[in-house]
Amino acid sequence: MSDSTTRKGNYDGAAKFFDILRSGDSRRWSDVQKQFFSQLKGRVLYVGIGTGQEIVNFPPGLDIVAIDISEEMLKRAQDRISSYPGTIKPILMDAHATSFEDNSFDMVLTVCVLCTVEKPVQVLEELKRVLKPGGTLVSFEHVQSRNPLFAWPLLLMNPFSLKLAGTSLIRDTAKNIRSAGYDLLVDSNVYLDIVKMFTSKKPER
């Protein structure tokens, strides 16, 4: 079995229930995402489009290339892609090793992706490769809490989450972003210190 097939997990199967499972999160995070995504401009790589639930929160007129590892997710995103007032080009691709040229995007967007990919630092390094120097990585992610009161429920649920959804609840994404060589500029909280918004820059050289 190839690496990509292994990483694909059961996202094709999960696509059927994805919108229902994420409907509460989408409602909760819609306003803050609209505000956060308003910084998107230029040529944007959207990693892990899923069923495209975040598309409604994008500002109009963007030039987006959207990748996902699941064909079924991309199929289900098609209606939202078609109704977006801008350009979204969906491509079936693994974020661990993309086929884009170096320095080809002005911005990269991840939404709940760095918690799910198998090797987050490898993915971040790959995204850094395709980002132009000085380009921006915009990430809306959930991470492990630094508060023990909220950290233990996440620890307890993590094995179930990994098994059922392939999502880790205990990643230190800020550390991963720095490890991959980005300058982390903004770290804002959306829910406790668990759901976060990161804005990072690829150094000019």
Tell which one of 10, 23, 78, 83 touches another protein (CB under 8 A).
23
Read off the DSSP letter of residue 56: G
Q: Measured from the CB atom, is 102 or 191 closer to another protein?
A: 191
Six token digits for residue 4: 């990509």
> Given the rule CB under 8 A, which of 44-52, 53-61, 103-111, 185-193 is the region that contacts another protein?
185-193
Q: Measured from the CB atom, is 91 or 184 closer to another protein?
A: 184
Q: Which of 126, 94, 97, 114 is nearest to 198 (CA)?
A: 114
Could you say whether residue 58 binds another protein (CB under 8 A)?
A: no
Please give the full DSSP string across 175-191, using - where no structure is assigned.
HHHHHTT-EEEEEEEEE
Could you say whether residue 27 binds another protein (CB under 8 A)?
A: yes
Could you say whether residue 179 binds another protein (CB under 8 A)?
A: no
- Which residues is 198 bridged to in the sheet? 139, 187
Q: Measured from the CB atom, is 24 or 60 closer to another protein?
A: 24
- Tell the smallest beta-carbon distance from residue 49 to another protein (Å): 19
- Tell the smallest beta-carbon distance from residue 2 to another protein (Å): 30
Return the SS3 of 188: strand
Tell which one of 66, 114, 197, 202 touches another protein (CB under 8 A).
197
Query: Which residue spans within 93-178 are E strands per DSSP?
Result: 105-111, 131-142
Alpha-carbon dihedral sign for residues 23, 25, 28, 30: negative
